Amino acid sequence: MTTLEVNSQHPGAHHDGVRLPSPRSLGGQGPDHARAARALCYAPAYLSRVLNGKQCPSPQLAEALDALVGAEGALASLLPQGTALRVNTAPEDTDSDLGHLHATVAYLLDHDNRHGADAIAPAAVQVWKTAQRKLDSGSVPDRLKCEYLTAVAELAQVAGWLLFDAGQQDAARSAFLEAQMLAGHAGDRSREWFVLDLLAMQGVEHARTGESLRIADELLSQLRLPPRVALMARVRKARALADAGHRQGALNELKTARAALEDSISPRDPSWTWWINDLEIAGHEGEALRALGEAGAAVPKLQRAHDLSVEFRPNGRGVLYYKVSLLSAYTAIEDWPACEAMLGSLPAVLDVVSSGRNHRRLRGALHGLTRAPRAPQWLTDLARDVASAPQLAITA
């Protein structure tokens, strides 16, 4: 599948009988392989194999190429009906390893969005550590070292995110730092930006305000930083400033980020920035306002993020996150009917999503409700019933 021409004699690639159009057939020229690989955060050799018909593209790559050239789903639609995430079962050589690593990353992230990371974080660490041992052993052929290094950096970053979502914060930080080092060795600047963003995110959530501010300022000081990367750096800075009580500075950064969101995605924006959208910004606006003690103003923002999360994936991990945030905001403004409605909606999501990070947040929100001085007894009893759910039990 390709929207990118290898040369003028390569009108299109195909795989498994699927004919894929050249960029000119879509009305565009398309960038060269190296620039496309950087933009999509895929290794050049992997992308080249797909474009030359030597490897079947994943649905994620098809969608990323669609977005890159503005094909509006034309390329993804060429995949056979029912194409799904697959784990490579080819012989254990380095080429098949790479296919397995790319497919595994896509599967793990999809599972996390649907069900949270508790069950899959250990698998992500296992795949990452196994790949890194192979890299460190020196058994990766020279022709594949750069691509393999890039893939291992991505695995470390994904493992870090999943550990973060599973509530294993020390392990998550170690994985992020390893991913940052590997991305630097690979010369993968886009991946380094992503890992720095995740470290700033973790700092905001775990009271490392100064670290988050330093990371955000470091990113914003870089020349020609892609617009969407700069936007998220401003969001992380705003959240840290809000936690520190700097209201005007936080609101100014959020206002700048919101304005930047209205701009089209730039060709310089990495493909990982796909999730930077109205949902993301509305959620951070709401969280910043909550941190500033303005729960009433936070509610419409958090409700917007919640509703958009439902549209994206009903009862997914994102929905649980914003239900917890809304419960805390409703408690702060003493909207007891809204608290009751939110408590009633939680069991169905807890049956689907297992996320240690969000379970911790929910336990905190429920504890806050049961201790609210003017909360009615029937409501605090309901909160204790939800808190007693087996999913929220703290395990050793």
Q: What is the DSSP letter of 6?
A: S
Q: Which pLDDT score is estimated for 266? A: 87
pLDDT tens for each residue of the chain, 396 residues long: 333 322 322 333 333 333 344 433 333 334 455 566 555 555 555 566 667 665 566 666 666 676 666 666 666 666 655 444 443 333 346 677 898 898 999 999 999 999 999 999 999 999 999 999 999 999 999 989 999 999 999 999 999 999 999 999 999 999 999 999 999 999 999 999 999 999 999 999 999 999 999 999 999 999 999 999 999 999 999 999 999 999 999 999 999 999 999 887 888 999 899 889 999 999 999 999 999 999 999 999 999 999 999 999 999 999 999 999 999 999 999 999 999 999 999 999 999 999 999 999 999 999 999 999 999 999 999 999 999 999 998 865
CATH topology of domain 14-78: 434 Repressor (Amino-terminal Domain) (1.10.260)
Residue closest to 86 by CA, chosen among 102, 64, 67, 69: 102
Is the whole model's pTM more than 0.75, yes or no? yes
As a whole number of angstroms, the longest Cα–Cα distance in the chain is 76
Q: Which pLDDT score is estimated for 63? A: 67
Whether the Cβ atoms of residue 45 and residue 36 lie closer than 8 Å to each other: no
The rounded distance, in Å, linking the Cα atoms of 180 and 190 is 10
The rounded distance, in Å, linking the Cα atoms of 256 and 277 is 14
The rounded distance, in Å, linking the Cα atoms of 327 and 213 is 28
Q: What is the DSSP letter of 72?
A: T
Whether the Cβ atoms of residue 65 and residue 3 lie closer than 8 Å to each other: yes
What is the residue extent of each domain of the chain? Answer: 14-78, 306-396
Is 244 buried (19+), middle (13-18) or exposed (0-12) by CB count in 10 A?
Answer: middle
Provide the residue type at 212 as one letter: S
Beta bridge partners of 170: none
What DSSP element (H or E) covers 22?
A: none
